[in-house]
Amino acid sequence: MKVTASPRRYLMCRPTYFAVTYRINPWMDPTAPYDSALAVRQWESLRQTYLDLGHTVDEIDPLPGLPDMVFAANGATTVDGRVLGVQFRDAERADEAPAYASWFRERGFVVTMPKHTNEGEGDILLAGDVLLAGTGFRTSHASHAETQEVLRRPVITLQLVDPNYYHLDTALCVLDETNVAYLPSAFSPGSQAVLQQLFPHAVIADAQDAAVLGLNAVSDGRTVVLPVQATHLDAELRKAGYETVGVDVSELRKAGGGPKCCTLEVRS
């Protein structure tokens, strides 16, 4: 299999105010220790990885009181220069939405704010000509029609069923325009059937990969940046013809995030 890379533009947010002080997903434990300085160092290493791969990285200024703002993927969805803003399910993250919308507006993008709960690229992933859209825990099913209208791409609904994988980007990674990696058990039987039909050559992750957020990975079409702990998935990706770069973002995982959570693709 021949795979090719294309340069990407990413938006990231330094975890200056990273903390785990509330619980809005199964990964978070406010009673457990966390190291904000380590989170920053791991994030900086991820950012440098993208630069080393030849990608462009923009940064949005972090805001105090928003410890999850580091998870930039939840800030918007952009396709062909169109930007769909976000509406978070949880009040703790609500103020991130206008911050990300302002970043895009200040750079000349027209931003449409959603009427329904929609957590950006956490649940909406561009795969070739279609958008894969997760629902079940965060992004509402009603938002999928809105997403299609705003971004003007066909939307395929995928039902998430495992609360540990509450966002689509924790259970599925788009590898290139024609293929994905995913954890079948994170999806309903009907959605598994759809994925099998759409992506017959998909890379299948196992439970151990998912448990370290291995599928919360970022691909440029050739190189997949994924948590270094996801050793089985790493081997399967290489077997399928992809190159891999392992990164350690384990401190950020304490809030339920991996490389993809930290990375919003800007498609002008």
> What are the pLDDT tens digits along the chain (268 aa)?
556 788 999 999 999 999 999 999 999 999 999 999 999 999 999 999 999 999 999 999 999 999 999 999 999 999 999 999 999 999 999 999 999 999 999 999 999 999 999 999 999 999 999 999 999 999 999 999 999 999 999 999 999 999 999 999 999 999 999 999 999 999 999 999 999 999 999 999 999 999 999 999 999 999 999 999 999 999 999 999 999 999 999 999 999 999 999 999 999 9
Q: Which pair of tokens denotes residue 28? A: 């978070």
CA distance 115 to 130: 21
CA distance 99 to 61: 9
Residue with tokens 């785990």: 20
CA distance 152 to 79: 9
261 is annotated as an active-site residue: yes
Give me the catalytic one of 13, 173, 261, 262.
261
126 neighbors 79 (Cβ within 8 angstroms) = yes
Q: Which pair of tokens denotes residue 242? A: 């992809």
Give me the catalytic one of 13, 144, 167, 173.
167
167 is annotated as an active-site residue: yes
pLDDT at 1: 52
> DSSP assignment, residue 111?
E
In the chain the domains, ranked by start, together with CATH numbers, are: 9-265 (3.75.10.10)
